[in-house]
């Protein structure tokens, strides 16, 4: 390995530590990793361009280094490797604040479609169809897996419904640099490693982190509270967050390992045994989100003498303006009924866009078009 680093990068470290598919070393007060690239080769240019943008924004992501042939990848025995300089304490644990830092500060990073992963509906429907096909083919070999699969396919279908509703809101959920997978027991080395980056809604990472944390028996309610307390999360993002919590990626991950890597089928029982508890957690999150957005509407309208609130329902009855506005906050949508549309309507909508249906006049339009006239 010393000869390879010298030839391709003109680096001459005294010591190299080999861990799995990576080689770690220090040279001239800098820390490096020479790492196998285990993604489709078509991803590398997109990842490199993202990496350059994030470096310019002073984010502490590992910096990909070109070799002496001005190439990103170096092939050793026909296996692609990439060299990266490390700027973080690679052994420090991942925290929620670190996840939010990288997500929130990479919103303006431009990504192409090659590593885009935000078409959740299509991706998840394809996964469901594939699993349903597998059940018919492998039922005899994996009876336990197939017994529980229909339940998790149903959960996935519910998740898809939430995402479909969220997608009716066009521009209220920023895209950012996220991760293919994120583990509560992971390290900053993994969090800031561009090899694992994808482009997705910024709530992806935290929702996956929360799911993993639940099955690690961490205090997930505290994590959810901290996330929403320290970040502005739009109503659409909240729907996406909840939809992603509903989606049983933890089941599909284990299912894949059982079928493709011959993992012990009994691993699925560990997840299934916590299904009732996880359903209770989902109910708690639903209640938490309803209360959060009810509170926001209350704060925006509490000084209005004509405003009243009862449970999840908010009303403004103004006889002088002949206004009657009623808004109800549900887990899947916010329903607003009004006979007057003006700028004040924004106080009832914690979102930047909404689609209006005027059934009486058969008129349907985006409220954004009226609000900003």
**What local confidence, expressed as pLDDT, does residue 120 receive?**
95
On whether both 70 and 111 belong to a single domain, the answer is no
Q: How many Cβ atoms are within 10 Å of 226's Cβ, its own excluded?
A: 16
Task: Say if residue 21's pLDDT is above 50.
Answer: yes
- Please indicate, yes or no, whether residues 65 and 108 belong to a single structural domain of this protein: no
Q: What sections of 139-179 are H helices per DSSP?
A: 143-166
108 and 227 inside one domain: yes
Domain end residue (candidates: 86, 110, 136): 86
pLDDT value of position 307 = 79
pTM over 0.85: no
pLDDT at 353 over 70: no
Count Cβ atoms within 10 A of the Cβ of residue 272 and give its class: 0-12 exposed, 13-18 middle, 19 or more buried.
middle
Residue 339: give the domain boundaries.
Answer: 298-371
The pLDDT of 62-78, averaged and rounded, is: 97
pLDDT confidence of residue 292: 79
- Which of 360 and 74 is assigned the larger pLDDT? 74
264 & 127 share domain: yes
The verdict on 187 and 262 lying in the same domain is yes
pLDDT at residue 352 in the model: 45
pLDDT band for 342, please (50, 70, 90 cuts): low
| Closest alpha carbon to 224 in 209, 235, 234 | 209
The CATH number for 75's domain is: 3.30.200.20
- What is the per-residue pLDDT across 278-325, written as a single tens digit (0 to 9) for each? 999 998 998 888 777 776 666 667 777 787 888 778 888 887 777 788
Residue 291, in any domain of the structure? no
Rounded average pLDDT over 11-19: 96
Examine the domain organization and report whether 107 and 234 are in the same domain.
yes
Confidence (pLDDT) at 97: 95
pLDDT digits 0-9 by tens, 209-243 = 999 999 999 999 999 999 999 998 888 898 899 99
Average the pLDDT over each of 37-41, 121-125, 352-356 and give the range with the smallest value.
Answer: 352-356
Long-range contacts of the stretch 338-347 (C-beta < 8 A, 24+) = 341/367, 341/370, 343/371, 345/371, 346/371, 347/297, 347/300, 347/301, 347/304
Is 284 part of any domain?
Answer: no
> pLDDT tier at 349 (50, 70, 90 boundaries)?
low
259 and 313 together in one domain = no
The residue among 313, 344, 343, 353 whose CA lies nearest residue 330 is 313
Q: Judge whether 339 lies within some domain.
A: yes
Distance CA 224, CA 228 (A): 6
Mean pLDDT, to the nearest integer, of 36-55?
97
- 252 part of a folded domain: yes
Number of domains in the chain: 3
Shared domain for 79 and 107, answered yes or no, is no
E strands along 253-312, which residues?
307-310
Q: Is the domain of 310 the same as that of 173?
A: no
Tokens 């959740």, residue located: 120
pLDDT band at 369 (very low <50, low <70, confident <90, very high): very low
């Amino acid at each position: 390995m010393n000869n390879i680093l010298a030839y391709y990068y003109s680096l001459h470290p005294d010591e190299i530590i080999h861990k799995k598919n990576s080689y770690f070393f220090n040279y001239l007060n800098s820390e490096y990793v020479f790492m196998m690239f285990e993604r489709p080769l078509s991803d590398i240019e997109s990842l490199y361009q993202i990496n350059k943008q994030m470096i310019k924004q002073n984010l502490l992501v590992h910096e990909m280094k070109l070799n002496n042939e001005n190439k990103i990848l170096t092939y050793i025995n026909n296996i692609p490797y990439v060299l990266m300089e490390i700027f973080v304490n690679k052994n420090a644990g991942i925290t929620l604040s670190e996840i939010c830092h990288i997500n929130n500060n990479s919103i303006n990073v431009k990504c192409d479609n090659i590593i885009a992963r935000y078409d959740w509906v299509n991706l998840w429907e394809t996964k469901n169809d594939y699993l349903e096909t597998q059940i018919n083919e492998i039922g005899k070999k994996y009876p336990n897996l197939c017994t529980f699969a229909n339940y998790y396919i149903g959960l996935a279908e519910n998740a898809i419904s939430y995402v479909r509703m969220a997608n009716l809101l066009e521009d209220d959920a920023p895209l950012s640099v996220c991760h293919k997978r994120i583990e509560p027991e992971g390290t900053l080395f993994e969090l800031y490693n561009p090899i694992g980056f994808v482009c997705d809604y910024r709530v992806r990472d935290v929702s996956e982190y929360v799911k993993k944390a639940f099955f690690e028996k961490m205090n997930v309610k505290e994590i959810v509270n901290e996330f929403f307390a320290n970040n502005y999360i739009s109503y659409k993002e909240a729907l996406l967050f909840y939809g992603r919590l509903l989606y049983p990626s933890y089941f599909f991950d284990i299912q894949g390992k059982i079928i493709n890597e011959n993992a012990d089928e009994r691993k699925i029982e560990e997840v299934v045994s916590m299904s009732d508890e996880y359903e209770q957690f989902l109910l708690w999150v639903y209640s938490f989100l309803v209360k959060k957005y009810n509170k926001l509407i209350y704060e925006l309208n509490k000084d209005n003498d004509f405003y009243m609130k009862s449970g999840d329902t908010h009303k403004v009855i103004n006889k002088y303006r002949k206004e009657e506005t009623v808004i109800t906050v549900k887990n899947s949508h916010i329903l607003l009924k009004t006979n007057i549309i003006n700028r004040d309507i924004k106080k009832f909508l914690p979102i930047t866009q909404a689609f209006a249906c005027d059934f009486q006049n058969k008129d349907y339009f985006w409220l954004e078009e009226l609000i900003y006239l």
